[in-house]
Structure 1
Amino acid sequence: MSSTDPSDAAPQPRRKMSNTKLALICSGVFVGMVGLAFASVPLYDAFCRVTGFDGTVSRAEAAPTRVLDKTLNIRFDTNVRDLPWTFRSEQVAQKVKIGETGLAFFDVTNNGDAPITGRAVYNVVPESAGPYFRKLECFCFSDQTIAPGETIKFPMVYFVDPEYAEDFETKNKPEITLSYTFFPADEDAQPQQSAKAPAAPGASTLGGS
């Protein structure tokens, strides 16, 4: 007749305690991730702008040193949300070679009766082109305050990185659409600065319509 060893039942409470602890840890991680997602929206936006993730255009400090003998059609789309503004692109589309610097102009008019500060957000289609569509100069890098009845012409200098032609997701796509949307700026985000028409950068206008 065999006797029961009390130690045989000991692991069960420990396993139960371990499972409970694991459940609590998982719940805590989930809650923490949700909180972090809401708290890190500015970080996510900054990440997208740097990497081009989610179709977000990235900023560049210098133009590429090589230009490929491959032309892309760049289309421009403009929108306004909750602002008494008129926002339009002076060109419907432009033809640029990959690696070549392009220059586009946009006109913004404040149809309201008071100065208003707006902010332009942007992305590209297809989303896979985001990391390769780079801007050297853009009104979207800062908030813009426009006086009532005032119209301002903004230049935008850009290029498509030569690596666009090497990525299997983009190399066979002949067209990119750059889309802008102006919406009211968060006044608490940064000090307002009156918009001034920037001097046109030293880049030649390419294509156009």
Structure 2
Amino acid sequence: MADQKHADKTKARNKRVMLGCVAVVGGMIGLSYASVPLYALFCQVTGYGGTTQVGTDAPRDVSEQTIKIRFNADVNSRLPWQFKPEQREMTVKLGEDNLAHYMAENMSVKPVTGQAVYNVTPLKAGQYFSKIACFCFDEQTLEPGQRVDMPVSFYVDPAIAEDPNTRDVKTITLSYTFYKAEASVEGPDGDEENGG
């Protein structure tokens, strides 16, 4: 009788341990799925990792102080596009609404959809760099051989000059990398580069 009670207690304890392990594993899986959007939200709010801000309008106060903006463009090897900035750099006033242009061209014989990811360096400048309008906000579909102008409207918050951590920033580099969108209209991993 005592052996049966001991066996029942052991079974109950093992069941609790197993349920606890399943709950921990389930929680870890749930956190792994939630971590990407939560990290993206954190970066967007804080500018961490060079994530820029999204603005609706440039501030009314434009400073006479200037900063140099450099432009960089890259394309992932799976995307058969050419992509480059139309200007290598500009000197802008803090708080001023500016317009820069990039050019993209689909080098394949099929329509292809791409999505740009972006950041600024130095990373600490991300919280002061705001985009008002940008091609990077949406996926872009280019027809075969199509070449398009891709503008970005931005400003640099004058508060960057007041922050002790960013007073030394004289140049900001805005970088874009275009990737093939997961649901590209040309289909999954076609052989676009070879024309078929």
TM-score in terms of structure 2 length: 0.77
Q: 59-68 vs 138-147, which deviates more?
A: 59-68
Q: Does 1:78 align with 2:73?
A: yes
1:28 is displaced (CA, Å) by: 6.3
The aligned residue for residue 106 of structure 2 is: 110
Cα deviation digits, residues 50-100 of structure 1 (max 9, x gap): 432211111101111111121101000000002110001000000001111
1:34 is displaced (CA, Å) by: 6.1
User: 5+ unaligned residues in a row in structure 1: which ranges?
Assistant: 1-20, 189-209
Structure (1 or 2) with the larger CA radius of gyration: 1
1:43 is displaced (CA, Å) by: 3.6
Q: Percent identity?
A: 47
In structure 1, which of residues 111, 118, 125 is the aligned counterpart of residue 121 of structure 2? 125
Q: Does 1:147 align with 2:147?
A: no
Q: How does 1:2-21 map to 2 (within 5 A)?
A: none
Q: 77-86 vs 41-50, which deviates more?
A: 41-50
Indicate the SS of the match to 1:119.
Answer: strand
8 Å CA contact retained: 1:75, 1:92: yes
Q: 72-81 vs 167-176, which deviates more?
A: 167-176
> CA-atom RMSD, angstroms?
2.4
TM-score in terms of structure 1 length: 0.72
8 Å CA contact retained: 1:112, 1:148: yes
- Would you say how many aligned residue pairs link Structure 1 and Structure 2? 167
Cα deviation digits, residues 33-56 of structure 1 (max 9, x gap): 564133331342244234322111
Distance, in Å, in 1 between the alignment partners of 2:88 and 2:66 is: 16
1:120 is displaced (CA, Å) by: 0.3
Q: How does 1:1-209 map to 2 (within 5 A)?
A: 32=27, 35-81=30-76, 82-187=78-183
Distance, in Å, in 1 between the alignment partners of 2:69 and 2:46 is: 20
AA aligned to 1:68 is S
User: 5+ unaligned residues in a row in structure 2: which ranges?
Assistant: 1-16, 185-196
